[in-house]
Structure 1
Amino acid sequence: MVFKEATFHGKQPEIEVEFVNHAALEIAAAEALATAGDIDASDVQVTSDADDIVLTGTVATVGEIERATAIVQAVQGVHDVRNQILLG
């Protein structure tokens, strides 16, 4: 077997300086919602978009929508929360 040195056509690949585990961020945000009081987040979906968390789904009150944003914003590593939760 012959191994050739890797070539990049004159351009070195870009390597991210900091790697963030987006799945871990989603899990942390979802667990924070599941264990928080004053909110039924059973119909809320949590996804990440870079360091931002996107919340979708439904809750019963406007207060729960606001509470979901506050809970997820407090999770370490979350940059911003895009709350798209609807009243259901």
Structure 2
Amino acid sequence: MIFKPQRFHGEAPEVAEEFPAEARLEQQVADALAASDGVGAEGLRVVATGKEIFLFGVVATRDEMDRAVEVALAIPGVEKVTVRMESGEAP
């Protein structure tokens, strides 16, 4: 099978950045949370907007929530963490 080079109106296509900075930052935070002691990351979702990280989900305790914020803030490039998490503990 022969594949021709991709062209758009006779010109080679421009390739946008495949993994933008926000996606890399999200992945770094998610990886750090998964590897961290004291955080059950399986119930968390990480979203980056600029240098701000949003943490969504459910954790078992408020200590776990605090630890998740600490881990996220330790990642280079993260300037702010907004928490949208719930804990299983009574308020």
Partner deviation per Cα, 1:28-84 (whole Å, 9 max, x = no partner)? 000000000011110000001111000000000010000000000000110100011
Unmatched tracts of structure 2, length 5 or more:
1-8, 10-19
What TM-score does the superposition give when structure 1 sets the normalisation length?
Answer: 0.75
What TM-score does the superposition give when structure 2 sets the normalisation length?
Answer: 0.73
Aligned-partner Cα distance in 1 for 2:29–2:39: 14
Letter aligned with residue 83 of structure 1: V
Q: Who is 1:36 aligned against?
A: 36
Unmatched tracts of structure 1, length 5 or more:
2-19
Percent of pairs with identical residues: 33
Q: How many residues align?
A: 70
After the TM superposition, list the runs of 4 or more consecutive aligned residues in structure 1 that deviate by more than 6 angstroms. Answer: none
Aligned-partner Cα distance in 2 for 1:37–1:24: 22
